[in-house]
Amino acid sequence: MSTFTNRLFHIIYSTKYRKPTIRPDWQDDLYGYIGGIVRGQQGTLLKIGGVEDHVHLLAKLSPTVAISDVLRKIKSNSSKWINERPDVSRKFEWQSGYAAFSVSESQMPSVSEYIANQAEHHRKKTFEEEFLDILKKHNIDFDVRYVFEQEIVQ
């Protein structure tokens, strides 16, 4: 028998310390670049969206590539791309972790719409509130003290 898969994921990750460093003037280029990375990992980016401090992806990923490898490539290559831009003066970094949730085909339209409406959504809710709500919705056990990286101020 042949092998068939449909590995759809809603992936979320933020900038380092959730700083608002994704600039609107190059956000679309960044999203296109991330799409190219996903394609290079044998996947398909179905939807991408976010705001200044985080990104949501809806992606179909290959069964032969680990999601952690895909995210490592996305984050390392895209941060390098951002840092090589002549209009970026401070070092850009992504947070160390991410969240990834499987999505059924029947839920793909609603997840896609949710991702498309991030700017409107975040007029009412912070990334931190959104992220904790999503973890709860997916029954993920967590200790809020360890969910977000904290900047050490000296």
pLDDT digits (tens, 9 = 90+) for 89-131: 889 999 999 999 999 999 999 999 999 999 998 999 999 999 9
Structural domain 8-146, CATH architecture:
2-Layer Sandwich (3.30)
pLDDT tens, residue by residue, 29-57: 999 999 999 999 999 999 999 999 999 99
The per-residue pLDDT for 4 is 85
CA distance 121 to 51: 10
Q: Two tokens at 15?
A: 């900038």
Listed residue (104, 73, 97) closest to 9, CA to CA: 104
Cβ-based burial of 54 (10 A; exposed 0-12, middle 13-18, buried ≥19): buried
* Helices and strands in the chain, H and E counts: 5, 4
Q: Which range (19-23, 36-40, 69-73, 146-150) has the least confidence?
A: 146-150
Residue ranges covered by each domain of the chain: 8-146
